[in-house]
Amino acid sequence: MGCYTTELDRACMEQASQTGLFSRLRKRFAAMRRVESPEAGTAAGDQALAERLLARQPYIAPTRSRARVVHLIGSLSAGGAERQLVYLARESMRGATVEPRILVINPLEGAARHYLPLAEQGGVAVDVAGEVLDRTVARNLERDGELRRLLLAIDPRYRGWCVDLAAEFVRMQPDIVHAWLDHANIWGGIAALAAGVPHVVLSTRNVNPSNFPKIDAPYFLPWYRRLAQSPRVSFIGNSRVGAADYADWIGIPRARVQVVLNGFDPAETRRPAETELARLRTSLGLDNKRVVLGIFRIAEEKQPLDFAAAAEEILAAVPDAVVIVAGDGPMREELAARAAAIAKDRFVLLGRREDVAALASIADLLLHASRKEGSPNAVVEAQALGCPVVATRGGGTIDAVEHNGSGFLCDVGDTRALAAHAVEILRDDSLRLRLSARAPKFVDERFGLGRMVEESLACYPPRRDHAIGSTR
């Protein structure tokens, strides 16, 4: 949380002190910023806040030749959503319709700045919420009584982030806030409506968070439902299954979540030179071997034990096959034990790797046994490099593989079908070559970068729809 939260607290403390509230109530409320809204964070308080947010009129954004779009996300770490955000901002920067900016919630330090160079190379401005205090904005937060009351009514658990985001929106005066991932969607959605942003896009990048208890928050669903009531809020998903899953979970029509498949930039994933690939094969002991590759986070939703069950059948059927896995996660030890029991020297866990493009380039196929997916980047990238895929129909994977074209799709949990298709590819060179030749063309057709940008921009409302409400 940054400087605007501190400024709002200071202003409230001064006001409470002048009215005598501070001395009477500070023992009752541990955080002074709760003084003006003691119901903040309760179900009744959240519902009252939502009703006031829905009634909040949007401002008229300054007249510009291009609509200003602020892309909001937690950080620019090495994730799929972060990469797609930067791609969209960078590519749309080159057009004539929008002026993109990136706003992150967390400091750009260490791993959180992974995609910062890519954004900067594209000429996209990147700001950290609350990092630099704008005195004019701070005074506006203090003087705008309704905005202040809205912010003080937010649950104290995440109010600080919302305050800093709202202040940045007041400063930037965007036409559109395009938020990415659940925390940014909720905090950014609340802050944007409070600040009067004309339009808010909430971007979902997987199936809904109830599928992932470790990252779900109890306030996600009720706030998604409240935000969905605003005609100024729209939704984007990056897979058909993910979009439908979110819509059903929130309780809105499926058509409300527009589907925009990810964009793939071939310049970011290149096949290394053959000499480099030869060295990699030798270093991993893969010379004269058929290579089955797995690239995934070793966690429950990726079904690593299903992967192992299919791998066991593959290794039994193809004597010169080797299975290698790039990735890490909470189930690594369990998968390692299973791999050792199956074939210690032919089922190898490589851990985290930076050379996944090279690994995909030397593999005969990528095996993917996931239960739930948004849009599996590893599957798309492997095909772009000519590596066929055998995968389950786990969420967005159905959009990411052309069955019997770039690979094969099987039902979730059907390890025999996974193994059978993999064995077929390993034994039939003509089939493998056909799939390998089709895979890059399929990726270019379905995941073209220009197509993703065009479809994303089409989800934004025309600027003339923004010119409503009152200027503050």
Task: Name the band, by pLDDT with cuts 50, 70 and 90, for residue 469.
Answer: very low
Strands 176-180 and 257-259, bridge-based pairing:
unpaired
For the sheet with 321-326, list strands across it. 347-351, 321-326, 290-295, 365-368, 389-392, 407-410
Burial class (CB in 10 A: 0-12, 13-18, 19+), 1: middle
| Per-residue pLDDT at 212 | 86
The residue ranking higher by pLDDT, 10 or 389, is 389
Q: Residues 6 or more apart from 122 whose CB is under 8 A from it?
A: 86, 89, 90, 91, 93
Mean local confidence (pLDDT), 394-413: 95
CB atoms under 10 Å from CB of 210, counted, come to 11
Range with lowest mean pLDDT among 39-43, 127-131, 154-158, 337-341: 39-43
Residues in the chain: 472
| Per-residue pLDDT at 465 | 43
Is 178:201 a contact under the CB 8 Å cutoff? Answer: yes
| Per-residue pLDDT at 372 | 83
pLDDT > 70? residue 360 = yes
pLDDT in tens, 212-226: 888 899 999 999 999
| Per-residue pLDDT at 26 | 35
Mean local confidence (pLDDT), 231-260: 96
| Per-residue pLDDT at 213 | 86
In angstroms, rounded to a whole number, what is the distance separating the alpha carbons of residues 86 and 78? 11
pLDDT > 70? residue 21 = no
pLDDT > 80? residue 262 = yes
Range with lowest mean pLDDT among 172-181, 239-248, 463-472: 463-472
| Per-residue pLDDT at 375 | 83
In angstroms, rounded to a whole number, what is the distance separating the alpha carbons of residues 190 and 173? 16
| Per-residue pLDDT at 472 | 35
| Per-residue pLDDT at 291 | 98
CA neighbor of 168 nearest in space, from 144, 188, 186: 188
Residue 404 Ramachandran class (φ > 0 left, ψ -120 to 50 alpha, else beta): left
Is 409:389 a contact under the CB 8 Å cutoff? Answer: no
| Per-residue pLDDT at 32 | 36
pLDDT in tens, 361-378: 999 999 999 998 888 889
pLDDT > 80? residue 68 = yes
CA neighbor of 227 nearest in space, from 265, 269, 191: 191
pLDDT in tens, 126-169: 999 999 999 999 888 888 989 999 999 999 999 999 999 999 99
Give the chain's radius of gyration (CA, Å).
25
pLDDT in tens, 305-331: 999 999 999 999 999 999 999 999 999
The end-to-end CA distance of the chain, in Å, is 25
| Per-residue pLDDT at 354 | 87
> For the chain, what percent of residues have pLDDT higher than 90?
78
| Per-residue pLDDT at 394 | 87
Query: What are the C-alpha distances in Å from 61 to residues 191, 234, 464, 466, 470?
Result: 16, 19, 11, 7, 10
Burial class (CB in 10 A: 0-12, 13-18, 19+), 186: buried
Mean local confidence (pLDDT), 8-22: 53
pLDDT > 50? residue 1 = yes
Mean pLDDT of the chain: 90
The structure tokens listed for 233 are: 């809020």
| Per-residue pLDDT at 38 | 65
| Per-residue pLDDT at 236 | 97
pLDDT > 80? residue 194 = yes
In angstroms, rounded to a whole number, what is the distance separating the alpha carbons of residues 432 and 450? 29
Structural domains of the chain ordered from first start: 21-263+452-466 (3.40.50.2000), 267-447 (3.40.50.2000)
For 352-395, list the strands marked E by DSSP.
Answer: 365-368, 389-392
- Amino acid at position 413, single letter: G
pLDDT > 60? residue 33 = no
